[in-house]
Structure 1
Amino acid sequence: MVETKSSEVFSPEEKKAMRARAKELKLAADKGNDAAANDEAVAKLPDDERELAERIRAMVVAAAPQLDPKTYYGFPAWARDGKVVCFFKPKSKFKVRYSTFEFDTAASLDDGAVWATAFAVHNEMTEDDLAMLAALVTKAAG
């Protein structure tokens, strides 16, 4: 068996996300901190991603105002009873081609044997695109 160092297993971006998650867990006791962390996560994004994140946030708040804003691995996220339901993952976080809007396991989206849990999102989303996501957020929020 060949042993590898943990530094060879995780990329710098993954390590940064894990550190962010550890910090989030420490701050989780205070919902005021969660909302501020969500705002800060959006504010730190590059202009194009910040615009997209703000559209996503407005859609989530309108579709499911009962969800609490927080962060999840440094991403803007929304939770029910402390469990993440959905989150926005900016493309710059892992240097990939597109951002995503995703649903976590607390989302109530089960529909048959197969259902979508992540969607590639772009600044060119239409109102119809946002409405489709909003319907899913409403369902996921339970």
Structure 2
Amino acid sequence: MKKTTNNRQKHAPHADKANGESLVLAKIAAMPGKYRAMGERLHNLIKASSPTLSARTWYGMPAYAKDGKVICFFRGDASERYMTLGFTEGAKLDEGNLWSTSFALKELTVTEEMMITSLVKKAVSED
């Protein structure tokens, strides 16, 4: 009797990663116009800052995980005055006894992009 393999199970990690990316892109596409472009830029910026992060949704928000643990996320809804970029306790942003884990974004300029790139790199650092 020939042993069969379960292709779905064999390819699940890749399928989950692709599905997570699709869900995140769908969430961004559903954002109101003023936040959609910023969401697309944030997504690309986060992915470029740390290619090891995998996209997924987390409580309905676009999020990025390392080894299955969410490191950062963002949200932007029509009812909100600004987008929010947040980091979970898995992010390695500790500085003394007090540090920021959430940021309001009204506009995304080169200055903010540089800051976000630095934060994401620090959040996933191995030290």
**TM-score between the two structures when normalised by the length of structure 2:** 0.81
Secondary structure in 1 matching 2:55: strand
Match of residue 113, structure 2, among 118, 126, 130: 130
Larger radius of gyration: 2
**Deviation (angstroms), 1:49:** 0.8
Query: Equivalent residue of 1:132, what SS?
Result: helix
Secondary structure of 1:30's aligned partner = helix
Matching of residues 31-70 of structure 1 within 5 Å:
31-70=17-56
Q: Partners in 2 of 1:136 and 1:84 — Cα distance?
A: 14
| Structure that is richer in helix per residue | 1
Count of paired positions: 112
Aligned residues: percent identity? Answer: 39
Note if contact 1:91-1:100 (Cα within 8 Å) is conserved in structure 2.
Answer: no
Q: Is the counterpart of residue 84 in structure 1 residue 70 in structure 2?
A: yes
CA distance in 2, matches of 1:72, 1:134: 21
Name the residue aligned to 2:86: 102
* Coordinate RMSD, CA, aligned: 1.6
Deviation at residue 36 of structure 1 after TM alignment: 1.1
Tell me if 1:118 matches 2:97: no
